[in-house]
Amino acid sequence: MSLLELRNLTKTFGGLMAVNEVSFSVDKGAVVGLIGPNGAGKTTVFNLITGNYKPDSGEIIFEGENIVGLPTHKIVNLGIARTFQTIRLFQNLSVLENVLAGCHCRMKAGMLACMFRPKWQKEEEKEALKKAWAELEFVGLSKELTNKAKNLSYGNQRLLEIARALATSPKLIILDEPAGGMNEQETQELVELIGEIKKRGITVLLIEHDMSLVMRICEHIVVLEHGAKIAEGTPEEVKNNPLVIEAYLGVDED
């Protein structure tokens, strides 16, 4: 059963066709990769799904509901969490507070509850701390708790973004180049982490330039070029697709 379905999604920026009639679906529990040469429109597709951009036309169906036009935080609330290609952490806040940001949307306390602190508010705060701690433990950052986000290594910042996204209790997590800037060992650990995320029953959709990583962990791959989908299928199918080979030939991929 598909958790997320894109139908004929189109987005232009002042005449430039960034995404052109793209359709694909992401099955529940799957790990799906979105690949393509630089400038193929992958990140734009992500920004459309998360509500950062509004599509010109097309539908995005999440759990049977069209989410086009909803503000980003509502989409997060429905269960789609993301990480950013260029890391966007709360640099001056502690690692723990960064993850608590993810817990925010599952909490209820408003202005008055925060001021007068009834018992349920205290419980809720405790639960959030537990959850944040658990997610940090999950990605292996629980020792960095009080460190400021900006003091983490690049690889750890990526992990922290994942922890923050997981803290929103998502059904679908969208990772934009999670291995970007990671060394080999870190990448290997990331592969294992994504496996763990899948085991928790969370569906994963990711953009990645590291082809070997994509081929290893994705069971389904969608290929974009010039904003349009040119192929999709299992890693084997995609690897042998002549259109894909052509699209990548001569393109410098690192």
Which residues are near other proteins by CB under 8 A? 13, 43, 47, 50, 52-53, 71-73, 76-77, 81-82, 84, 88-94, 96-97, 100-102, 104-105, 107, 109-111, 114-117, 121, 124-126, 128-130, 133, 143, 145-146, 148, 164-165, 168
15 or 110: CB nearest other proteins: 110
Q: Which is nearer to other proteins, 93 or 215 (CB)?
A: 93
Q: How far is the CB of 28 from other proteins (least distance, A)?
A: 21
Q: How far apart are the C-alpha atoms of 95 and 132, rounded to whole Å?
A: 10
Our CB check for other proteins shows the closer of 61 and 134 to be 134
Minimum separation from the CB atom of position 184 to other proteins (A)? 28
Task: State the minimum distance, in angstroms, from the CB of residue 176 to other proteins.
Answer: 10
Residue number, 71 or 140, with CB nearest to other proteins: 71
Q: CB of 3: closest distance to other proteins in angstroms?
A: 18
Least CB distance from residue 216 to other proteins, whole Å?
27
* Nearest-approach distance from CB 17 to other proteins, in angstroms: 15
Strands of the sheet with 2-13, listed across from one edge: 16-27, 2-13, 57-62, 65-66
Nearer to other proteins, 104 or 226 (CB): 104
For residues 51 and 75, the answer to whether their CB atoms sit within 8 Å is yes
Residue number, 96 or 193, with CB nearest to other proteins = 96
Q: How far is the CB of 194 from other proteins (least distance, A)?
A: 19
Q: Compute CA distances 167 → 70, 148, 174, 178, 221, whole Å.
A: 21, 18, 13, 17, 26
Instruction: Kindly tell me which of 48 and 221 has the beta carbon lying closer to other proteins.
Output: 48
Helix axes 95-103, 119-139, angle to 10 degrees: 120
